[in-house]
Structure 1
């Protein structure tokens, strides 16, 4: 079953318009975002990368081996 959601359609249209504005180039989009950050005048916080930790999930039977 497939249904349509007007909000999702609107978000996808906005995303496509932004991508089209930057010629679908991720580098151009990133550059525009950085320029927008600089123009905003707000303090930009850069956090250090977090360490990746693996979490083992319980099996579908519920036991915790």
Structure 2
């Protein structure tokens, strides 16, 4: 699933994710659009936040 789909499935806004991870909303937008690829540690944190296995996550390249 895409990062955006995972977020929406959890009922979270981009600002919710930004607040939980200590980044700006703009950073979350860039991750979801594929403009910026999140670092491995961030991908792990997103998987934990969205309560999915890493295998479920499709990160834009």
> Which structure has more RCO (C-alpha within 8 Å, separation ≥ 6)?
2
What is the TM-score with the length of structure 1 in the denominator? 0.25
